[in-house]
Amino acid sequence: MRDLAWDGYPNARDLGGLPTPLSPTGATAFSRVARGPRRELLTDSGWAAANTWGLRTVIDLRCAYEIGRRDGDPAVSPGALNGTIVISAPTEDQSDLEFQRVCFPILDSPEYWQHNWRLQPHLVRTTFETIAAARPGMLVHCSAGRDRTGMISALLLGNAGVPPDAVADDYTRSVRAMAGSASHAPTTDRQAAWTAAEVDDWLTTATPTVRETAERAAEIFDTLGVAHPVRTRLRDLLTAP
């Protein structure tokens, strides 16, 4: 039930249905937040399926220069979005030279997340504030729906009380879904050429970082300066009836 069959759109999942003791149902709520790759991959029927799911808001984590239709993307009708609001909330400034030096070699790994928090906490904080203020029924996406989206999803789920192993499994599903796909990243994406065996090997070193991120969500929110009312709103987004 978590996988979203939106035409043209791989690696799309609802963040609902994951275990948490903070919800009266014992699981995160469906149709509140979905995660995925660049929205330009959606076809007309993909947008229609997203609208049926309840899509009302798109939170785009990419930098401005990454946004827009590319060769091979489907042409969609002007009314495909059906009133969906698109909000830009980039988690990083890729023009920053220090960010380039430290993060560009590892942008396809959760290894860079801690550097994003250290170098540009204001951007990540603003992303969470934007999500907290947005209308539920939202899609959070970056390019592959794996790294920036993985970081935001891990912290959202950790804040909502989802066990670290379940958060890591969610991240793993995105890695497997996008391995071997054409790269949409601004830098070299090693995973674009990986086989399933290479993915398995790499995940043994990557998933501990994802687990730790979920475990330390409160501490990381402190580092980012995310206000407690925002944290409560983000938690309620995934756990409240």
Per-residue pLDDT tens over the stretch 178-188: 887 766 556 66
pLDDT at 91 over 70: yes
Quote the pLDDT of residue 185. 59
From the CA atom positions of the chain, what is the Rg in Å? 17
Judge residue 94's burial from the number of C-beta atoms within 10 Å of its C-beta, 0-12 exposed, 13-18 middle, 19 or more buried: middle
Domain ranges of the chain: 13-239
> pLDDT per residue over 11-30, tens digit each?
999 999 999 999 999 999 99
Average of per-residue pLDDT values in the chain = 94
Name the CATH code of domain 13-239 (choices 3.30.360.10, 3.90.190.10, 2.30.30.100, 3.20.20.100): 3.90.190.10
Edge-to-edge strand ranges of the sheet holding 138-141: 13-14, 33-36, 138-141, 57-60, 85-88
CB within 8 Å of 103: residues ≥ 6 apart: 92, 112, 115, 116, 119
State pLDDT tens for residues 108-167: 899 999 999 999 999 999 999 999 999 999 999 999 999 999 999 999 999 999 999 999
Helix (H) or strand (E) holding 215: helix 196-215
Nearest to 140 by CA among 236, 240, 60, 231: 60
Do 179 and 120 touch, CB atoms closer than 8 A?
A: no
| E strand segments, 78-123 | 85-88
Quote the pTM value. 0.95
Q: What is the pLDDT of residues 28-56, one digit of tens each?
A: 999 999 999 999 999 999 999 999 999 99
